[in-house]
Amino acid sequence: MRFSSKVEKCGLSPMRKFHPFAVAAREKGRSIYHLNIGQPDIETPKAYFDAVRSFDQSVLEYAPSGGVPELVAAVQKYYAALDMHYTAEEVLITTGGSEALQIALNCMIDDGDEIVIPEPFYPNYSTMVYTCGGTIRPVATCPEEGYHFATREKMERAINEKTRAILVTNPGNPTGTVLTAEEMQMLAQLAVEHDLFLIADEAYREFVYAGEVLQSFGSIEEAREHVIVIDTVSKRFSACGARVGCLLSHNKEFLDHAMKYCQCRLAVATLDQVAAAALYSVDESYFAAVREEYKRRRDTVVEGLKKIPGVICECPKGAFYLMAALPVDDADKFQQWLLEEFEDKGETVMFAPGEPFYGTPGKGKNEIRIAYVLQQEKLARAMELLALGIEAYNKR
């Protein structure tokens, strides 16, 4: 039997690679501070579980392919409050933001087509683009410049006749960078000029820490036919396991194509949609409290990093991730060593090595991504362990 050349180009999750080492470390009695995955520890709003418990239909039927009406309406209302007005037909509920991305990319990519993505980027974008037969054209950044990518020159250099879309994560994963309104305007303008889609992955929209108003590419009127917004309840409501996201677009032709995919996989899980609709009833104080909590965590991590000699890290403005360059030869080897050789009072730390976040081979070798999804005192200790680890690693 032969396998698809597209799937052969993809790799297993780079995050998984260290799993056996982590298991072995735990078996030796070590406890590990996990900064390697984006699974928040914040409680899911009770509204979700209440809705689930009060579901009273006796037959668990297929939901409509585009989403259950109450969830579509909840999403519309959420966007209307941001002065973005989508009709019910312009909202397609998906199985997480992941499926929204897969559907969008499948609608536009033919073999050999390119998607422009600033690097470092979310590693699953690679599998999503490759399995459609496309390739990623990365836009280079560096830790010294705080991973800043949004200049017209940098972006335009990456666009060619094979480009189908620009894919931007804002706020950024893994970098935590937040675009300014002017940068967003420039990117949207670029999409219009070059007749490209602009896929805006805004999973972390609420996680901005400078008191700014919430932003979305979907609000840029001049690019309304070009922008596809990817959204999800996963991070916003700490409901990653719900697998409920959505696609938003004003482009009728795109929506028609996307609906073909939606119909082909029939529907998103019914109960999760009903419960996700209830999540949208959570009031602004919930977001404010969560935002404050993450902000404190970010500050703790950045403070810890700044104390470590040789670490390069700009304070990120959003999401719950940051990237940093470490004074080590190879973050991958360093991570393995932290799990196999290092401990301080029986404890060690895990992060995500930076290389898999890059599309350009060889880049990110001494960088790491930190997800600050633990409580402050744990984060402080994790930074201490990182400092001790770097020192011991470089002395070994």
Site for its own copies in 15-34 (CB under 8 A): 16
258 and 92 Cβ atoms separated by less than 8 Å: yes
State which of positions 90-119 bind its own copies (CB under 8 A). 95-96, 98-99, 102, 106-111, 113
The nearest distance, CB 203 to its own copies, in angstroms, is 12
Is the Cβ of residue 166 or residue 208 nearer to its own copies in the bound state? Answer: 166
Sole binder of its own copies in the list 55, 151, 193, 303 (CB under 8 A): 55
Cβ proximity of 290 and 279 under 8 Å: no
In the bound complex, what is the minimum distance in angstroms from residue 155's beta carbon to its own copies? 17
* Binding of its own copies by 151 (CB under 8 A): no
CB of 341 to its own copies, least distance (A): 28
**DSSP class of 135:** E
Token pair of 350 as six digits: 């895990």
Are residues 279 and 47 in contact, defined by beta-carbon separation less than 8 angstroms? yes
Question: Closer CB to its own copies, residue 134 or residue 146?
Answer: 134
Nearest approach in angstroms of CB 266 to its own copies is: 6
Q: Pick from 156, 212, 253, 292: which binds its own copies (CB under 8 A)?
A: 253
Size of the residue set binding its own copies (CB under 8 A): 80
Tally Cβ neighbours within 10 Å of residue 215. 21
- Given candidates 23, 88, 181, 241, which one binds its own copies under the rule CB under 8 A? 241
Pairwise CA distance, residues 257 & 352, whole Å: 36
Q: Least CB distance from residue 126 to its own copies, whole Å? A: 9
Q: Rounded to the nearest whole angstrom, what is the least distance from the CB of residue 53 to its own copies in the complex?
A: 5
E-strand ranges in 223-328 read 227-232, 245-249, 321-325
For residues 346 and 366, what is the distance between their CA atoms, to the nearest angstrom? 25
Minimum distance, C-beta of residue 377 to its own copies, in the bound complex (Å): 19
Strand extents, DSSP E, the chain = 31-34, 91-94, 114-118, 135-139, 163-169, 197-201, 227-232, 245-249, 321-325, 347-350, 352-353, 367-371
Q: Does 43 bind its own copies (CB under 8 A)?
A: yes
**Residues 357, 364 contacting (CB under 8 angstroms):** yes
**CB-based contact 347:33 (threshold 8 Å):** yes
- What mask, x for binding its own copies by CB under 8 A, covers residues 338 to 367? ------------------------------
Stretch of 39-47, 145-153, 297-305, 359-367 lying at the interface with its own copies (CB under 8 A): 39-47
Exactly one of 24, 31, 39, 144 binds its own copies (CB under 8 A); that residue is 39
According to the binding rule CB under 8 A, does residue 261 interact with its own copies?
yes
163-169 sheet: strands from edge to edge: 91-94, 245-249, 227-232, 197-201, 163-169, 114-118, 135-139
Q: How far apart are CA 94 and CA 348, in angstroms?
A: 38
User: Is residue 161 near its own copies by the rule CB under 8 A?
Assistant: no
- Which parts of 162-221 interact with its own copies (CB under 8 A)? 164, 195-197
